Structure 1
Amino acid sequence: MMHLIKRNFLAGILGLLLAACSGPAVQPLMPTPVVFSELGFSPMEHIPEEKRWTPRRVYYATTRQREDDLQRLDYGNLEGEKMSVGMTLVGFGAPQLSWSDLSHYSQQDSRDTTVDLSISGLVEIGRFSPSTDETPSSDESGAMAWLMNDMNSSIEASRDDDLLIYVHGAKVNFYNANAFAAQLDHFMGRDMTSLAFSWPTRQNIIAYGGGGDVRRAYRAAPALTSLIEELSRESVARRIHIVCWSAGGRVVTSALQALYDRHAREGVDLREKFRLGTVYYAAADVPTSEFVDALPAINDLVSRTVVTVSSKDGALDMAKMFMGGGARIGQRTNDLTEEQQQIVMTADRLEVVDVSRDWEGRGFDITGHRYWFDHPWASTDVVLAVRSDYAPQQRGLAPTENNLLWSIPSDYPERLRNSLNLKQLRLQEVNGQ
């Protein structure tokens, strides 16, 4: 009896404190990043008239099992045997929302209405069998070939020929993955092509806290590895960026380690082969020991790895306490062994952004598990790190005594303004303007 009470109490605590990993059934547009709300920039004004329509196309790859009914196509919580690929059309606001209104809301720090994101169209192209250590990939239906053909047309027609992959956290559904990919893409200027990778986490925190969905995350990782291989081989993308949140960091870390293990002996530059740009770990629920073990491989694969940490992320605190595995990379911690410190310090492409550091000078801390998109200062760094080649100082961050560690200073908006205006001036000089 006491065991049952204890288990129910634990379930209740996890449900309350890890609920931040989840997303509502309808996802509102994230708060406007400060680069747009305070600096006078717009994510939409540069888009030509003929492309000004409010919905946004998002490609997807999912290891969720397809659910069919007479009303609609959807993907549920069961694990599929194959990876389904296709595209969604994500609507921004009500159908009558105009382009000018959406542009206005995308520059406001406080909106007088909610702009909800919805899937207004979904097309499955087909299914693809990812490769494993024992079996090669299989595309008998031609699904991946069709996806690449359509995606390449999108990339070639875009202002920026980069590709963004978004990998979600726990306790969310297929819709959430696409909605988040769409809004990240939106605030990156709608210049890229985006793809949502949706793994079959359930909308039940006990499924994650009890370890079942953790195992699902790792089982989904080989599909992401195969997807990256296909994208690097068949797409025309200049670079492939990845943004992962919370438990999505486990999927990405495992996938990148496997990618390295498969190809390390080829004697080629893996960064050039796979064209991986920025991999951004936002509030990641990845055990530190696991990440550090994989860091040398990740460092050999990507152009830049960014990890954000906060001192007050209740979800990660509870994950460490109740799920085991030690500290998470999204936590503010210094409990690295000497060997781990050496591995971290030799990762020359790693950047750690401590969003809590110097909070006294700012007058506020950046906390919670959703800060990376809920807080306009934190989300701005996500946008700039993926959207540009800017170094940390060029993104308005402040250096610390540690070469890898950066903070968000109290004069962050002003630093951004000076840096971005200077970059615009240099671009005009190069163009002879």
Structure 2
Amino acid sequence: MQRPFGHPPKQVHVVSRTLSSLRLRGALTTLLTAVVMTACSGPSVQPLMPTPVLFSELGFSPLDHVPEEQRWTPRRVYYATTRQRINDMQRIDYGNDEGSRTALGMTLIGFGTPQLSWSDLSEYSRTEERSSAVDLAVSGLMEIGAYTPGTETSDARDETGSLAWLMRDMNASIEASRDDDLLIYVHGAKVNFYNASAFAAQLDHFMGRDMTSLAFSWPTRQNIIAYGGGGDVRRAYRAAPALTSLLEELAKNSKARRIHIVCWSAGGRVVTAALKDLYERHQAPGVDLREKFRLGTVYYAAADVPAEEFFDALPALDSVSSRVVVTVSSKDGALNMAQLFMGGGTRIGQRNQEISADELEQLMATERLEVVDVSRDWEGRGFDITGHRYWFDHPWASTDVVLSVRSDFTPEERGLAPTNLDLLWKIPSDYPERLRQSLTREEIQLRADDF
């Protein structure tokens, strides 16, 4: 079973080689930071998400095991975006227009002020209450090129060698990391380019900074009318082929052991369409698509995906991924408004959606679907888990995101409690204690000296 933190060390000769390349890139990144400090426009600062209860209750920091030579507060995030680059000679930035190609590069996300020490960041990452906010901001950004997504009959067109460069650099990062998995984050609507990288960075941060992360940014605009009116919904679907092509390239050329996807809200539409397309392109007798594409956990957080659309794609999702997790809440105002004003029926992130007997039969026939009802039996807890941002704002909900990606734990081993349906799980009132007992039972000692 995969350990949630502190995988066994890799071969020394591999780490030494890749760390040498990292030192060189570190020097380049320092230069890069000085050149493009004002990389992104629009809202470009947000506070670090609340500490997951996994850390605040179990008494350790996600950073305790990070080696001394890697203890610097910024975090690198790769990116792929279908946003059009803004024509500005003074800085690199991506606006709200749709691009004809997928741009690739990396961002450096700073955590807190330059004066924030590693020890203080580690302490803030284990405590429920912080003495000051830790803001995330872009410290540097480098574009390496762009490629044109492929069609059903052709590979992605990469005239500039951008994909090859990305794979080489990403593979060096994967080899040097303590966990050789890759995390892809796909954002929701009404955010800018910065948001995708910042969210990928903080998810990566609370997963122990052990993995390599990539943000997929599609061109949603920063107003609800653009999404509610349907324009940005169409943009989401138009961006899906770029994600499909990226997953194909990663499967062929990356050294990632597994590739995980966390998607939020409208990002679920991008992911659903991309994975369905992936399945339809490559299904064939005798082909194991999970082995071919190495997709691990696909986590749908508060997803604005119409239930009918999800049910249609579910056989494909079940065929290409190792695990599909869907969270639902009783009081997600954004999804309730989306259903009311945009139509399209209930969303998979809504609780108490009505499903037919045939749909229930289809759900129960899936092998890899898990539904986490964060509102179920809220009276016993004394509080509900609500809103549209609960999956990272609420420490109990965010813990399940972390453990679902970082481990092979079953829902019960992740501290969840069963319900009357085999695939439906709830967060019980004794959730922190269940976590503690489960992790002890599995002989996973969550202490820095064991990482």
Equivalent residue for 1:321? 340
- TM-superposed CA distance for 1:334, in Å, is 3.8
Q: Deviations over 1:295-339 (max 9, x none)?
A: 011000100000000000000000000000000000002411222
- Name whichever of 198-207 and 261-270 sits farther off: 261-270
Cα 1:282–1:71 shift into 2, 3 Å: same
Equivalent residue for 1:4? none
CA distance in 1, matches of 2:362, 2:441: 35
Match among 338, 352, 370 for residue 333 of structure 1: 352
Amino acid at match of 2:64: E
Q: Deviations over 1:253-278 (max 9, x none)?
A: 00000000000126310000000000
Match among 25, 39, 64 for residue 45 of structure 1: 64
Answer yes or no: is the 8 Å Cα contact 2:328–2:374 preserved in 1. yes
CA distance in 2, matches of 1:42, 1:177: 24
Equivalent residue for 2:316? 297
Answer yes or no: is the 8 Å Cα contact 1:61–1:196 preserved in 2. yes
Equivalent residue for 1:160? 179
Match among 353, 360, 367 for residue 348 of structure 1: 367
CA distance in 2, matches of 1:267, 1:145: 29
Equivalent residue for 1:257? 276
Equivalent residue for 1:7? none
Q: How does 1:216-227 map to 2 (within 5 A)?
A: 216-227=235-246
**Superposed structure 1 runs of 4+ greater than 4 Å apart:** 425-428
- TM-superposed CA distance for 1:50, in Å, is 0.4
Cα 1:322–1:425 shift into 2, 3 Å: closer
Equivalent residue for 1:409? 428
Answer yes or no: is the 8 Å Cα contact 1:129–1:137 preserved in 2. yes
Unaligned runs of 5+ in 2: 1-41
Q: Deviations over 1:225-270 (max 9, x none)?
A: 0000000110000000000000000000000000000001263100
Aligned pairs, how many?
407
Identical positions, percent: 75
- TM-superposed CA distance for 1:26, in Å, is 1.4
Answer yes or no: is the 8 Å Cα contact 1:327–1:333 preserved in 2. no
Q: How does 1:373-392 map to 2 (within 5 A)?
A: 373-392=392-411
Secondary structure at the counterpart of residue 222 of structure 2: coil
Q: Deviations over 1:333-358 (max 9, x none)?
A: 24112221121111110000000001
Match among 86, 90, 94 for residue 67 of structure 1: 86
Answer yes or no: is the 8 Å Cα contact 2:377–2:428 preserved in 1. yes
TM-score by length of 2: 0.88
Amino acid at match of 2:402: V
- TM-superposed CA distance for 1:25, in Å, is 3.6
1:421 aligns with 2:421: no
Cα 1:96–1:82 shift into 2, 3 Å: same
CA distance in 2, matches of 1:418, 1:201: 43
CA distance in 2, matches of 1:425, 1:74: 43
- TM-superposed CA distance for 1:38, in Å, is 1.0
Secondary structure at the counterpart of residue 262 of structure 2: strand
Answer yes or no: is the 8 Å Cα contact 2:174–2:255 preserved in 1. yes
- TM-superposed CA distance for 1:86, in Å, is 0.6
CA distance in 1, matches of 2:144, 2:296: 27
Equivalent residue for 1:91? 110
TM-score by length of 1: 0.92
Q: Deviations over 1:73-120 (max 9, x none)?
A: 011000000000010000000011110010011011011211000110
